[in-house]
């Protein structure tokens, strides 16, 4: 059983938080263009975050993060590695970041003020990976197989580091999921989707790892690319009194039968949303500190659990298995 702990910061006079968004517009590479490397600088910088980059000018190859404004949603293959399947940045913006993440890639806080809770980030597939999963190619299989029944998946797992220590919590987001009994529920993400990072708690860097059901002798066959935009961090402008941090626990996660929540403070309302924003359950629970709900009939996939209390409303990522 894996339990996700979400630190919920009470509103105190001793701490102030502000949001900073890394939207990459300061790194605009020009119309229909991309920037694969910064040479000796070693990282792109946007907002208050660093996005590490390693570039080989001889072979024009990179690892880590790169910057793009390309909009090609139709050309398959490696030659179109820089495009997002959405055709633009989040909310129609010109610039976004994409990653080659055959090995894990990091996002690092630029300064002490940026260390703390990361709010979230928009994620989507690259055109390269999307079309590879949709149709298959010379290296990778068509997701679902010939009859559509293969339980394929493409997953990004996000972990947090704080003061050099890897934290126990994880956030998982499926870029594609074909594990449903009903094939009509299978999907490949084709637009920007908000991924809540608050369940990771305090962090000074995040690590993004990709995994797939399609693997070969040399590792993952699915193209190891994905795109991000509008990475939002919560700036800590003064010190937080850690004695005032409380926890809401959600377990098990993933779950197949029952969803349970525990809180130190009374919870007033619980709602469950699909990633498309459709509400699938909502109920007032009148100050309970423990809530249990049967989820047998919910389709498998990612959900947002919204918990409302007298102090604050907080959202948690949850997976129905």
> Is the domain of 98 the same as that of 226?
yes
> Is the domain of 89 the same as that of 219?
yes
Is 70 exceeded by the pLDDT of residue 34? yes
Is 80 exceeded by the pLDDT of residue 14? no
> Is the domain of 105 the same as that of 226?
yes
> Is the domain of 196 the same as that of 134?
yes
Considering 217, 236, 255, which residue would you say is the last residue of a domain? Answer: 236
> Is the domain of 65 the same as that of 120?
yes
Query: What CATH number is given to the structural domain containing 276?
Result: 2.60.40.3080
> Is the domain of 103 the same as that of 195?
yes
Considering 184, 207, 236, which residue would you say is the last residue of a domain? Answer: 236
Q: Compare 36 and 12 and report the one with higher pLDDT.
A: 36
The pLDDT of residue 25: 93
Burial 98-131 (b: 16+ CB within 10 A, else e): bbbbeeebebbbbeebbbbbbbbbbbbbbbbbbb
| CA pair distance 257, 246, nearest whole angstrom | 27
Is 50 exceeded by the pLDDT of residue 3? no
Considering 200, 217, 236, which residue would you say is the last residue of a domain? Answer: 236
> Is the domain of 226 the same as that of 141?
yes
Number of domains, the chain: 2
The pLDDT of residue 39: 59
Per residue in 94-134, pLDDT (tens digit) is 999 999 998 999 999 987 767 878 889 999 999 999 999 99
Q: Within a 13 Å sphere around the CA of 43, how many CA atoms are in the beta-carbon half?
A: 14
Residue 15 contacts residue 238 (beta carbons within 8 Å): yes
> Is the domain of 169 the same as that of 284?
no
- Structural domain including 64 reads 17-236
> Is the domain of 302 the same as that of 263?
yes
Per residue in 261-297, pLDDT (tens digit) is 888 778 888 989 887 667 889 899 988 888 999 999 8
The pLDDT of residue 312: 66
Q: Compare 313 and 204 and report the one with higher pLDDT.
A: 204
Q: Compare 120 and 8 and report the one with higher pLDDT.
A: 120
> Is the domain of 71 the same as that of 94?
yes
Query: What CATH number is given to the structural domain containing 50?
Result: 2.60.120.1350
* Residue 166 β-bridge partners: 161
| CA pair distance 31, 53, nearest whole angstrom | 21
Q: Which tokens sit at 263?
A: 């809180």
> Is the domain of 250 the same as that of 147?
no
Rounded to 5°, the CA angle 182-131-31 comes to: 135
CB atoms within 10 A of CB 201: 22
Is 50 exceeded by the pLDDT of residue 259? yes
Q: What are phi and psi of 75, to 5 degrees?
A: -85, 120
Q: How distant, in Å, are the alpha carbons of 255, 290, 301 from that of 282?
A: 18, 16, 18
> Is the domain of 259 the same as that of 222?
no
The pLDDT of residue 260: 87
């Amino acid at each position: 059983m894996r339990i996700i702990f979400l630190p919920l910061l009470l509103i105190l006079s001793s701490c102030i938080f502000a949001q900073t968004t890394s939207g990459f517009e300061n790194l605009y590479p020009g119309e229909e263009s991309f920037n694969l490397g910064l040479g000796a600088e070693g990282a792109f910088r946007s907002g208050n975050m660093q996005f590490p980059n390693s570039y080989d000018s001889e072979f024009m190859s990179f690892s880590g993060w790169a910057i793009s404004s390309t909009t090609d949603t139709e050309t398959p293959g490696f030659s179109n590695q820089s495009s997002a399947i959405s055709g633009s940045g989040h909310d129609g913006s010109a610039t976004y970041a994409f990653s080659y993440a055959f090995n894990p890639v990091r996002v690092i806080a630029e300064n002490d003020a940026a260390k703390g809770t990361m709010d979230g980030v928009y994620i989507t597939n690259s055109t390269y990976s999307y079309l590879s999963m949709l149709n298959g190619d010379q290296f990778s299989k068509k997701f679902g197989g010939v009859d559509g029944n293969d339980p394929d998946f493409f997953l990004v797992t996000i972990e947090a580091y704080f003061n050099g220590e890897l934290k126990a919590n994880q956030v998982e987001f499926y870029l594609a999921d074909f594990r449903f009994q009903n094939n009509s529920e299978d999907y490949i993400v084709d637009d920007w989707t908000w991924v809540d990072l608050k369940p990771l708690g305090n962090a000074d860097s995040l690590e993004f790892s990709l995994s797939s059901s399609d693997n070969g002798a040399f590792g993952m066959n699915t193209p190891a690319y994905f795109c991000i935009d509008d990475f939002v961090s919560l700036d800590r402008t003064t010190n937080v009194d850690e004695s005032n941090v409380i926890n809401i626990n959600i377990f098990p996660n993933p779950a197949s039968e029952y969803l349970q929540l525990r809180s130190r403070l009374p919870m007033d309302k619980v709602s469950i949303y699909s990633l498309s924003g459709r509400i699938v359950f909502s109920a007032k629970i009148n100050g309970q500190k423990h809530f249990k709900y049967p989820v047998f009939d919910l389709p498998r996939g990612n959900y947002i659990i919204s918990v409302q209390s007298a102090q604050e409303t907080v959202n948690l990522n949850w997976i129905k298995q």
